Structure 1
Amino acid sequence: MPPLPLAIRDGSKAKLWLNLGEGGQVTSDAGLSLIAEIDSKLQITSQFAQCFQDYRKPNRINHSIESLIKQRIYGLVMGYEDLNDHEELRHDPMFALALQKRIGIENESVTLAGKSTLNRLEHCPEDVEQGADSRYHKIGHSPEEIESLFVKIFLESYSKEPRQIILDLDVTDDLVHGNQEQVFFNTYYGGYCYAPLYIFCGKHLLAAKLRPSNIDPAAGALEELERVIKQIWQQWKNIF
């Protein structure tokens, strides 16, 4: 069977040829091309990357912060929750294309980040010095900017200010399997879990707060709600 052309946005007029039945490197995640296209239009991962600080030496960087974030989030979207999955995904041609890698270009690597590099993006203990002087943790982040981004994306989804919105607060269980910190047995949910707090407006997620499950379900809800409403009112003056 001859190869079939599959158009994909990559900043050029080139086409990806989907080879059927002739061997070679294949992928089961072709749907990722649609996710990458939507993200390119909405700039969600690009905005998320701006909430991080990169103190690594430029001449030693193979994967930018934005590239790492795209790879991790795209993996989650496609159902790959474990960092170990990326030891295989880093060689997946569809993930490479989604991250704007140019396949087949001489002297240009298409190998993505491995689990250790992604782990350094995610894990930086609060009691460890961050910044340029830190020996082991060269990637920092701003929790406040990340929290604000959820609301910012929600506000930008409207072409004009609505007359009224309804905010929905929800608490649920996030079951764990291991020895994670601040994990407790919750009798209501019948297992060891976290009890994250979420704030939604329709289909839009405005806040997500990870919490231990041994606290009052309403703990911290008022503070989160006040923060979200304050940011909404800064742009929408007449909303109620």
Structure 2
Amino acid sequence: HTGEFLFREFDEKIGFSTTLSKFLNLEDKRRYYVHSNENLLRQKIYQIIAGYTEDDAADQLTKDPVFTQIIGTDALASQPSLSRFFRRFDRRSIEDLNEANQELIDKVHQFRDSKAVIFDLDSTHSDTYGNQESAAYNAHYGTVGFHPLVAFDGVTGDFIKASLRPGNVYTSNGVVDFI
């Protein structure tokens, strides 16, 4: 778990969690809760960094002393709490987080004193299971899923932006609208 402490230091240096909190606008109708939306998002990000990509990993980490210290809470949220959290997102809240992402990218480029950005655009395929909305068969990959378009900084490899697309979209479709 020591990697999370390094990321927490990075988080505080560039204001990662603070920036995300500023842009995290969810339709939250909960009257009583233990975990704030900000802490739920921070928990999920730190879990992913630590290699716990599945929501149900939260159940085994609930009282983990390292994670609770990093997140700054007595106990982490459970898998059902994380699942309910993700259901509060809509198109507007995703766009708000895209703005947070851009602000963070700008901070990192300013910190690095970057003079230029080279856009590396690519598509990828992500398999789906079940009947997920907009999932479709992709003949090239031979599976059902999504075919997102992603952009990275070609110099640093930093993630810039992604657009989730149905699995049957041709590789270059939407590139002009994406930029």
Aligned residue for 1:196? 148
Identity of aligned residues (%): 26
2:14 maps to 1:30? no
Aligned residue for 1:10? none
Structure showing the higher helix proportion among its residues: 2
- TM-score if structure 2 supplies the norm length? 0.85
Which amino acid in structure 2 is aligned with residue 196 of structure 1?
P
Distance 1:167 1:38 in 2: 24
Tell me, which stretches of 5 or more residues in structure 2 are unaligned?
A: none
Q: Find the structure with the greater CA-based Rg.
A: 1
Distance 2:177 2:94 in 1: 15
Which amino acid in structure 2 is aligned with residue 63 of structure 1?
H
Aligned residue for 2:78? 114
The structure, 1 or 2, with the larger RCO (C-alpha pairs under 8 Å, 6+ apart) is 2
Aligned residue for 2:161? 207
Distance 2:144 2:83 in 1: 24
Runs of 4+ off more than 3 Å: 54-58
Distance 1:222 1:97 in 2: 44
Q: CA deviation at 1:56?
A: 4.7
For residues 88-136 of structure 1, give each alpha carbon's deviation from its aligned partner in whole angstroms, at most 9, with x where no partner exists.
11121111011123xxxxxxxx12111122112111475xxxxxxxxxx
User: How many residues are matched?
Assistant: 174
Tell me, which stretches of 5 or more residues in structure 1 are unaligned?
A: 1-28, 102-109, 127-139, 226-240
Distance 2:29 2:143 in 1: 41
1:84 and 1:115 in contact (8 A); partners too: yes
Aligned residue for 1:145? 96
RMSD: 2.2
Aligned residue for 1:216? 170
Distance 2:130 2:17 in 1: 29
For residues 213-239 of structure 1, give each alpha carbon's deviation from its aligned partner in whole angstroms, at most 9, with x where no partner exists.
1112222221121xxxxxxxxxxxxxx
Distance 2:177 2:167 in 1: 18
2:118 maps to 1:166? yes
Specify which of 16, 20, 44 is matched with residue 48 of structure 1.
Answer: 20
Q: CA deviation at 1:151?
A: 2.3
Aligned residue for 1:22? none
1:51 and 1:141 in contact (8 A); partners too: no
